[in-house]
Structure 1
Amino acid sequence: MRTIRRGLCALLVVASAIASTGCRDTTAAPIQPPADRAVLRQAMVDMVRAGAVGVQLRVHDDSGDWTASAGVSELGKPEPPSTDGRFRIGSITKTFVSTVILQLVAEGRLGLDDPADEHLPGYGIDRRITVRMLLQHTSGLFDYTGDHNSDGGFEAGIPLQGAEYVDAKMRGYTLGELARLALSKPARFAPGERWQYSNTNYVLAGLLIEKLTGTPYATQIRTRLLIPLGMSDTSLPGAEPTVAGPHAHGYLEYQRDGRTELADITELNPSWAGSAGEIISTTADLDRFLAALLGGRLLTPQLLQVMGTPFPVPDRPGGFGLGLVDRRVGPDCDVYGHTGGIHGYLSQLYGSKDGARRVAMSITLNQDPDSQAGAFIPAVMSILGTLCR
């Protein structure tokens, strides 16, 4: 999720962990790993050298499941991240929400081309905005986490940066509050005119689920996805700030009174992310979900095809479907899934189109995702590129 628009000792601990342990290999079965495992290990080391606190990775391919980690679980301590640790998945939540909406479409509860306002009266949603546009990020709605104006300037949303956020990280929000804040701002462009990522779209999608089912959207995700798939380590925390069970720590570098400070940001109230990014999970659970989704167990073939049909995004091969990103990672090789970012955590979940090959990864950060993610692009693309083989 786009959340917003180190001390020397910490860096030495991370570097020491790499030098002494490299990557923690926990290959699940006694199979001979293919040669590209070395590529995966090196990519994780490269991410830690580029500033990641820790990395945990799960790959499923023709040789089975393989997991490993690099770096440390917590600054100042030598232990590597657990390969079954929990983490905040950020915007990968959107793929879960979209799946539930598409299941409701299959049940005849709504249509993708219904005006969203038809199901959510009282919010003043432009009647031209359809359910499809929400899931596809073509609505033009202001992003409540902050957005750009037509003149290129940035308009702030809720406070998610710097000392202001650190001091208020336990503040709670409701989906309705976030939606109304966003809808009080002018639209960025006419509905359907173009693509622009906006977390507001998925807050409204969460509200749609609640209106159509009469239950919290989290309940629908649990009963339709988590319980049937046996995803027992995945949760929707609501306003609960802690991450239960084994987990790596995330950090946030910020400025206070002209000084650079580093906060352990692992505990925060995730209600500001809500149906746009609140879920906590593990690489094993995410792998199980993606295998079921791309393998056709959660949606009809027709709806899965619609979900994965990309709307073109300027200057980026592939595009954005309905909560499912088509990401070009090599010549004639696209992978499908989503990236997620939230304070302290950056996640990747992608697979081949048929779901036979998959990658689930969590990177723990010491800056905000928008500032730090670019440093990991070469290593991430190297890992995702192994899905093409």
Structure 2
Amino acid sequence: MVKTTLAAQDMRVSWGSIFGGVVTALAVSFLLSLLGSGLGLSAVDISAAEAPDGMGTGILIYTGLSVLISLALGGYIAGRLSVAEGRVHGFLAWAVSVLLAVILSGVLVNSAFNAASSIAGSVVSATGSVASGAGSLLGKGASGAADLVKNAFGDINIDTHSAAQNTDQKVQDVLRKSGIAQLQPEYLSQQLEAVKNDVAQAGKKLVQAPDSLDAIFKELVEKIKARGQDISKEIDKDKLAQAFKNNTDMTDEEAAQAADNVIRARNETVKTVQEGINNVNKQIEEAKVKLEQAKQQALEQAEKAKKAVAKASIWSFVSLLIAAILSAFTGHLGAARARNRLY
């Protein structure tokens, strides 16, 4: 009678048995996760600057063993409850556990990469932290670039007040009427303000296109160089003297003397402004070096994160593949044990 009943069940799938195996697998996985977290935290020195050597490998090994143990037990329970077709029920318990783990972790399979890195994180949470850490490194985007630019450009100081000239109001009026752009009272301050804007615009471009670092810095340096050359242009003394003569009651000699005084004072101011521009150029070069170093460090960290995720994904694939085979085998053992008890 028992043999007849078993034969009738051979071609039937017992979803109740599979459900029992899945519940077992997830419960054991949760317990092993707690144990792994406790052992891992107790082994970590929070005062240490870096994690102990080999800790990442240890996490992966523990994760793999936890996957095997939990799914093997789930397969055994599924086979034990089903009595017949233990391999099938063990394998289906593994499959449902994996699918349920993906759903519970909030990851619907967008790609093989996402699925592989998330499955192990659901079965044992330690692996998931590797993937999430990599994501935070690789996903900074514009925000990370903005921080780098802000830090690099933070030391660039442009003093627009250094261009101030203390000149008599009558002299300023004459300078305005002279038609000489470089002698306008606001000219030097405007040029320095323009340099300040050039630096700000370069910063915005770097945030939007961090890969164009060399081209953006080259353009910025050329702009500042051109402004410096414009500021340093020689003033037509005769034209300035004529402006004094036309707009005042000065004699030729007095107009020439006034022109000399204005040019001499302006040259002193231009010298100070040029020193400021040279200092800005030096600071820009230092900012470029900082950004290049930061970019290189970011690339190195991203490469490490990529390798860590790849390693975790491969480890997860191997563990789950072995677990599938092991679940089918333990399911067979469970069903055989159940049949032996019935005979």
Structure (1/2) with the larger strand percentage: 1
TM-score normalised by the chain length of structure 1:
0.21
Q: Give the TM-score of the pair, scaled to structure 2.
A: 0.23
Structure with greater helix percent? 2
Which one has a bigger Cα radius of gyration? 2
Higher relative contact order (CA 8 A, sep 6+): 2
